[in-house]
Amino acid sequence: MRRIKILEEKFFVILSAFMTYSLIAVLGFIILVIFVKGYSALDWDMVLKTPKGGYYYGGEGGVLNAIVGSVYIAFGATLIAIFIGMPAALYINVQLVRYKRTQNTIRYFLDALWGIPSIVYGAFGFALMLFFGMNASLLAGIITVALLISPIMVRTFDEVLSTIPKGLHEASLALGSTRTETAFKVMFKQGFPGFITAVLLSFGRGIGDAASVLFTAGYTDRVPTNLDEPAATLPLAIFFQLGSPIPEVRDRAFASSIILTVIILIISLTARYLSKRYSKTNLK
Amino acid sequence: MQIRRFFFDKITGFWMVAALVTILLLPVIIGIGLYMKASPIVSQQLFFHLIFSSKWAPSLGEFGFWPFIAGSLYVTFLSFLFTAPVCLLSAIYLTQFSTKQLIRVMHPVIDVLAGLPSVIYGVWGILVIVPFVSRIMAPFFNTTSSGYSILAGGIVLAVMCIPYTLNMLIEVFNTVPKGLREASLSLGATFWELVKHVVIRGNYPGIISAYGLGIAKAFGETIAVMMVVGNVVKISGNPFDAAYPLPALIANNYGEMLSIPMYDSALMFAAFLLLIIILIINLFFRYLIHKTKRQ
C-alpha cells in the first residue's frame, strides 16, 4: 500500500516537473524558430528603411514605417492610459481606502474588463470612428489602443498601491496634507515601481496588439507625420507580408517577427528588472 | 496658498473620479455603441435565427452565425483540453515541489510567454504547428489535412492561454494555509496526497474559475487563431478540417463590410455577441474568485 502511494507520488512529481520544464522549452522553441527562420532576411535595411516601390514583390526596403507607427501608437496610447489610469488607481487606494466593499467591487469590474478581447475594442473603435466621421488614422488607432490598455494600467498599478502600508497614508494625512496631495505626493512616489511596471506592460501590450488596430489605424508605406494620417503597425506588417505568395516577402515577415519579439523581450525583462530594483529601495 | 491648495485638491479630485468612472463605464459604452451599430440587423431578423441559423450568404442577406460560433466553441474546447492538465500540473509543481531557483526562472518565462504578441504565436503556428498537423498528425490518424485546421488552432491557442491560466492557478494554490498543509503531512499523508486532498479539493472554485477565465480568453483570441485555422465557413466535427471562428470573421471582413448592405451591421453584431459572451463568463468566474478570496 505504502509502496503504491510512493510510486504514485513519484509518477506525478515527475510528470508535473516535466510539464513545468516543458514550458521553458516551449518558450525557447518559439523564440528559436522565429530567430532561425527570420535571421537570413534580417539586415539593417529592414530596420532603417521604409518600403520602396516593389517591396511587396521582393524589392528593396524595410519595415521602418511599421516600427515607427507601432511605437507612435503604443506611446500615444500609453500617455492617454496614464492620464486615465494613474488617477483612477490612486483614487481606489486613497479616497476609497475606507470602503473595502466598494474597492473590491471596483476591482472585480476592472478584472472583468481586462478579459474583453481586443477585437471587440477594435470593432468599437471602428464604430466610434464612423460616428465621428474620421478615417483610419494614427489618432483613431491611439484612442482604440488606449481604451484597450487602460484597464491593464489601472489594475497593475493598483496591485502595487494596495500593498503600501496604511501607516504611511495615515502619517501623511496627520501632517495636514489633503487627500489628493497624499495620493500624488506620497502614494505615487511609493508606488512608483508599480507605476513603471504598469506603463511598460501597457506599452508592450499596445505595441504587440494587432486586432484592435486592424480597423482603426489603416496601413501605409510612409512614416506618419500627422495624427490624421494612417499608420502601419508591426504586427499587421508581419500579418500582411505572411499572406504574400513570394518567398522573399514571407522571409521578411519572419525577420519582422524577430524585431517585434526583441522589442517585447526587452520591454518585459526591463519591467521585471526595474520593478525589482525599485522595490528594494522602498518601504515595505 | 491655502486657496491654491484647496483648488488643486478639488480639481485633481475631480480628475480622479472622472477617470475612474470613465473606465468603469467603458464596457457599458462599448456595449451600447456596438449594439447601436448592430441594431439594423437585429430589428430585421430574429435574434435566435441569427445565432442558430447556419446559412451564411451576406450578398443574399442571409446572416447565420452558427458556423462561426460552433467553430469558436470547437477551437476553444480543444485548447482547453490541452491547457487544463499542463496548467494544473505545473501550478502544483511550482507551488508545492519546486526549488526557489526554478521559481525565479519561471517568473520571467511566464511573463514573456504572456507578453508575446498573438501575431508571433501565429507565425510560430504557421511555421511549426501547421506542418506538424499536416505531415505527422493527419497521416497518423489516416486522414489528409492541409494543416490549417481546428486542431492547429487549438494547439496554438493552448500555448497562448497557458501563462494566463497558470498565473491564476498559482495565485489560487498559494492561498492554501500553511497550517492545513502541516496538519495533513503530520497525519502521514504523502506530498501527493496532500496535493490531491488538500490543495486541489480545497480550491475547486478557484481552479474552475481559472479555467473559465482561460476559456474566455481563448474564445476572444483573434489574430493567432485566424492565421492557422483555415477560415472556411462550414460546420465539421473533424478536428483536421478548417473552421471559421467568430473573431476571425470580424477581423477578416472589415475591408468589404461597407460594400454589402447589412454586412457591417452583422459584423458589429458578431462583436457585440463576443463582448456579451465573454463579459458574462468573466463576471461569473471573477465573482467565484472574489467570493473565495474573501473567505
Q: Tell me the nearest-neighbour CA distance from A20 into chain B, angstroms.
A: 5
Quickly state the pLDDT bin for A284 (edges 50, 70, 90).
Answer: very low
Query: Is A176 at the interface with chain B, CB within 8 A?
Result: no
Residues of chain B contacting residue A107, judged by C-beta atoms under 8 Å apart: 290
Would residue B7 count as lying in a domain? no
Query: ipTM of this model?
Result: 0.89
Print burial letters for A144-161: b (CB count within 10 Å at least 16), e (below 16).
bbbbbbbbbbbbbbbebb
Interface touch A268/B92, C-beta < 8 Å: no
Would residue B33 count as lying in a domain? no
Interface touch A117/B279, C-beta < 8 Å: no
Query: Is A240 at the interface with chain B, CB within 8 A?
Result: no
Q: Which grid coordinates are listed for B25?
A: 463605464
Task: Please tell me the distance from the alpha carbon of residue A41 to that of residue A255, in angstroms, as a whole number.
Answer: 6
Would residue B95 count as lying in a domain? yes
Contact B9, A181 (CB under 8 A): yes
Supply the mean pLDDT for chain B.
86
- Residue A245 burial class via C-beta count within 10 angstroms: exposed 0-12, middle 13-18, buried 19 and up: exposed
Interface touch A23/B90, C-beta < 8 Å: yes
**φ/ψ bin of A160: left (φ > 0), alpha (ψ from -120 to 50), beta (otherwise):** alpha
Residues of chain B contacting residue A109, judged by C-beta atoms under 8 Å apart: 24, 27
Q: Tell me the nearest-neighbour CA distance from A31 into chain B, angstroms.
A: 9
Task: Please tell me the distance from the alpha carbon of residue A115 to that of residue B167, in angstroms, as a whole number.
Answer: 14
Interface touch B193/A5, C-beta < 8 Å: yes
pLDDT in tens, chain B (295 residues): 678 888 888 888 888 889 999 888 888 999 999 988 888 888 877 777 778 877 787 777 778 888 888 889 999 999 999 999 999 999 999 988 888 888 888 888 888 898 899 999 999 999 999 989 888 888 888 887 788 889 999 999 999 999 999 988 998 888 888 888 888 888 888 888 888 888 888 788 889 989 999 999 999 888 888 888 888 888 877 888 888 888 888 888 876 666 777 788 888 888 998 999 999 999 998 888 877 766 5
Task: Please tell me the distance from the alpha carbon of residue A57 to that of residue A43, in angstroms, as a whole number.
Answer: 18
Residues of chain A contacting residue B257, judged by C-beta atoms under 8 Å apart: none
**pLDDT of A50-103, one tens digit each?**
777 777 777 777 788 888 999 999 999 999 999 999 999 989 888 888 888 888
Domain boundaries, chain A: 2-39, 46-280
**pLDDT of A157-174, one tens digit each?**
888 888 888 888 888 889
- Specify the amino acid at residue A106: I
Query: Is A27 at the interface with chain B, CB within 8 A?
Result: yes
Would residue B39 count as lying in a domain? no
Print burial letters for B11-44: b (CB count within 10 Å at least 16), e (below 16).
ebbebbeebbeebbebbeebbebbbebbebbbee
Residues of chain A contacting residue B271, judged by C-beta atoms under 8 Å apart: 119-120, 123-124
Q: Which of B8, B16, B192 sits opposite A8 (nearest CB)?
A: B192
Residues of chain B contacting residue A113, judged by C-beta atoms under 8 Å apart: 23, 26-27
Q: What percent of chain A has pLDDT over 70?
A: 96
First to last CA, chain A: 48
Domain count, chain B: 1
Residues of chain B contacting residue A251, judged by C-beta atoms under 8 Å apart: none
Please name the helix (run of DSSP H) or strand (run of DSSP E) that holds residue B232, with its range, or none: none
- Tell me, what CATH number does B276's domain have? 1.10.3720.10
**pLDDT of B105-154, one tens digit each?**
888 888 889 889 999 999 999 999 998 988 888 888 888 778 888 999 99
Query: Is A194 at the interface with chain B, CB within 8 A?
Result: no
Query: Is A182 at the interface with chain B, CB within 8 A?
Result: no
Identify the CA nearest to A6 among candidates B193, B183, B181. Answer: B193
- Residue A122 burial class via C-beta count within 10 angstroms: exposed 0-12, middle 13-18, buried 19 and up: buried
Q: Tell me the DSSP string of B67-131.
A: HHHHHHHHHHHHHHHHHHHHHHHHHHIIIII--HHHHHHHHHHHHHHHHS-HHHHHHHIIIIIHH
Interface touch A272/B221, C-beta < 8 Å: no
Identify the CA nearest to A261 among candidates A10, A38, A14. Answer: A38
Task: Please tell me the distance from the alpha carbon of residue B23 to that of residue A84, in angstroms, as a whole number.
Answer: 8
Give the CATH number of domain A46-280; options: 1.10.3720.10, 3.30.479.30, 3.30.420.40, 3.40.50.10490.
1.10.3720.10
Q: What's the domain range around B154? A: 51-294
pLDDT given for residue A144 in this prediction: 92
**pLDDT of A25-58, one tens digit each?**
999 999 999 999 888 888 887 777 777 777 777 7
**pLDDT of B71-94, one tens digit each?**
899 999 999 999 999 999 999 999
